Copies of this chain bind each other. A is one copy, B any other.
Amino acid sequence: MTRYNAPLKDMQFLLHDVLKISSSDIPGYADLDEGFTGAVLEEAGKLARDVLEPLNAVGDRTGCVLENGVVRTPPGFKAAFDQLREGGWTALDCDPDYGGQGLPYLMGTAVGEIMVSANMALNMYQGLTHGAYSAIHVHGTDAQKAIYLPNMISCRWTGTMNLTEPHCGTDLGLMRTKAEPQGDGSYKITGTKIFISAGEHDMAENIIHLVLAKAPGGGEGTKGISLFIVPKFLVNDDGSLGTRNAVAVGKIEDKMGIHGNATCVMNYDGAVGWLLGDLHKGMRAMFTMMNEARLGVGLQGYAVAEAAYQNALDYARDRLQGRNVTGAKNPSGPADPLIVHPDIRRNLMDQKSFVEGARALTFWAANLIDRGHRMSDSAAEGLVSLMIPVIKGFQTDKGFDMAVQAQQIWGGHGYIEDNGVSQFVRDARIAQIYEGANGVQAMDLVGRKLAQDGGKHVMAFFEMVKVEVKAQEADPRMAGFAGSLKVASKQLQTAAMFFMNNAMKNPNAALSGSYDFMHLMGHVCMGLMWTRMAHAAHVALDEGRGDADYLRNKITTGRYYMSRHLPACTMHLARIESGAEPVMALAAEAF
């Protein structure tokens, strides 16, 4: 009942008119001309539309089944996963030394959006593998890389990340899983991990678990934690698969959504593992992957909203109900389509302007990640590290809200599972929770990222916005954008100042406003993106390039964002400035 078409034109506009990638100085970007990126995205779009999307509802309805220690993925998943593998889609931005295609992370991000929109649950199998690949790529020994990377790049072997235990999620210092050194370089891992996405399934020959555990001598809390490679099947020296390791799935969870992905309880019962990276530096090893993992979840936020939007739009065009208040638009029919009604428009414009803004922000961040990795640009790395909690927290919150709004357009029919739009809401919900719940993102932003490197990165961000405002306010066509962005950015600065002035006396003053700050900053980022996009659209129109209708609609959509979304900044600032007192006044017993 649902459908998905990749937003190719919008992606191409971002890559070539906004980010101007093929004239970038980032190594590897010069090859990314319009023809090339267009061809890659078009192929990805076909696979998404024809193979992945039709399985999205199947995955939701069927779910994964655990029987006798074996997890069966939904019918069709394995064949689709094979197509992903065989088409090289899992190798896109991986290291050519190990069989990857070496494309920039930005290209992986654009293709990733398409895959997630089409089928979030299925795409997670490769997404988790990519995360584990990155960890081994950065922290592994040459021998480890040689053994694991080629098979993980091809997704013949998939990967997992094992952090959470029943009694600890955010607070990993409470971890109980133990690693005992065996004297031969290996460890025996014992403990229970929960919420392990793709922990067990029938689509790969081997599963490479990356497991956080405590090895002796590391001290209390997170200091004692190390990261281990624990394969499901041990790997012989010749690369063939050996004995089954002592790791087993204990249970798969019955969740609100992403039913097509097996969320497992994993029991490690003296399983053989090998240290990845330095002993007792497991948290640091995990954190090096955090930016990409969180960007990936922020991407899920708007990618699912994009799919929901497309299906809400179809319904708004097809469903005949009521008459346009200023005169019938479909006089020969029994009623006008929903899309004539202003409140339906408001709803659709909310979705459209959010999704396009979030896509721009995500692509820009991916571009910064490439700049950081490929040019060792620490300013880019600092900026993206500031941006990551915003992208993860703001985009998944808004992405969920927009999926809910999309469902609302379907009325009662949106509440019926057969129609498929409820799945978008249920799937999108997890992105607000996993990979650091959004409250934790807000704490990371306000408690760590703002002050990081002496506040250098947030100052650079403010300066960047200021430069953009200055550049645009002279152009009368852009003055509205520049003016709105300026106001919002001042509000963000005022909020940051409030934290600086109050947090020393009372840390709760900052932490009480952290969630609102994350959203306030999200809107400013989106305002910046919309200003850049509108400017790029004007330039393209002036130069007579591109699809003039598309470009004009882009500017109109941006105007909507600036006038209808950005006013939230005033609200967030007022909440922040009310300080800790209202939040903390009630005694814990008084709730």
Q: Which residues of A contact B (CB under 8 A)?
A: 164, 167-171, 173-174, 194-195, 253-257, 313, 316-317, 320-322, 325-326, 329, 334-335, 337, 339-349, 352, 400, 404, 407-408, 411-412, 414-418, 422, 425-426, 429-430, 432-434, 437-439, 442-443, 506-508, 511-512, 514-515, 549, 553, 556-557, 559-560, 563-564, 567-568, 570-571, 574-575, 578, 580, 582-586, 588, 590-591
Contact = CB atoms under 8 A, between A and B. Distances in A.
B170 A411 contact: yes
Given A321-B170, A334-B174, A349 B570 contact: no
Nearest to A564: B575
A432 B170 CA distance: 33
A579 to B, nearest CB: 9
A105 B571 CA distance: 37
A118 to B, nearest CB: 20
A408 B334 CA distance: 44
B560 A585 contact: yes
A345 B326 CA distance: 47
B339 A588 contact: yes
A370 B586 CA distance: 35
B586 A556 contact: yes
Nearest to A170: B321
A322 B171 contact: yes
A342 B171 contact: no
Contact of A321 (B168, B329, B564, B574): B168
Given A256-B415, A256-B416, 18 more contacts: A164-B412, A169-B321, A170-B411, A173-B335, A174-B335, A253-B418, A256-B417, A326-B508, A342-B512, A345-B512, A345-B584, A349-B586, A415-B433, A549-B590, A556-B582, A559-B585, A567-B578, A570-B570
A407 B578 CA distance: 25
Contacts of A574: 563, 567, 570
B564 A342 contact: no
Contact of A408 (B254, B257, B438, B506): B438
B571 A335 contact: no
A414 B549 CA distance: 45
Contacts of A564: 575, 578, 582-583
A565 to B, nearest CB: 9
Nearest to A346: B583
Given A170-B411, A256-B415, A425-B256, A345 B570 contact: no
B433 A412 contact: yes
A325 B507 contact: yes
B563 A578 contact: yes
Nearest to A440: B343
A508 B339 CA distance: 13
A434 B414 CA distance: 11
Contacts of A422: 256
18 contacts: A169-B321, A174-B321, A195-B412, A256-B422, A325-B508, A340-B588, A342-B580, A345-B512, A408-B432, A414-B433, A556-B585, A556-B590, A559-B585, A560-B585, A567-B571, A567-B575, A570-B570, A570-B574
- DSSP majority for the A interface? helix
Question: Which of A340, A426, A567 gathers most chain B CB within 10 Å?
Answer: A567
A507 B326 contact: yes
Contacts of A414: 433
A557 to B, nearest CB: 7
B340 A439 contact: no
Nearest to A173: B335
Nearest to A407: B429
Contacts of A512: 342-343, 345-346
Contact of A439 (B337, B343, B578, B591): B343
Contacts of A170: 321-322, 411
Contacts of A570: 567, 570-571, 574
Nearest to A344: B439
A339 B590 CA distance: 11
Contacts of A590: 549, 553, 556
A343 B514 CA distance: 7
A169 B408 CA distance: 13
A302 B515 CA distance: 23
A433 B408 contact: yes
Contacts of A506: 326
A480 to B, nearest CB: 10
Nearest to A512: B342
Contacts of A253: 416-418
Contacts of A571: 567-568, 570-571
Nearest to A253: B416
Contacts of A412: 164, 169, 194-195, 433-434
4 tightest A-B CB contacts, nearest first: A567-B574, A342-B511, A563-B578, A256-B422
Nearest to A552: B590
Contacts of A194: 412
A556 B174 CA distance: 34
B582 A515 contact: no
A354 to B, nearest CB: 14
Contact of A583 (B349, B426, B442): B349
Contacts of A416: 253-256
Question: Which of A164, A337, A412, A433 gathers most chain B CB within 10 Å?
Answer: A412
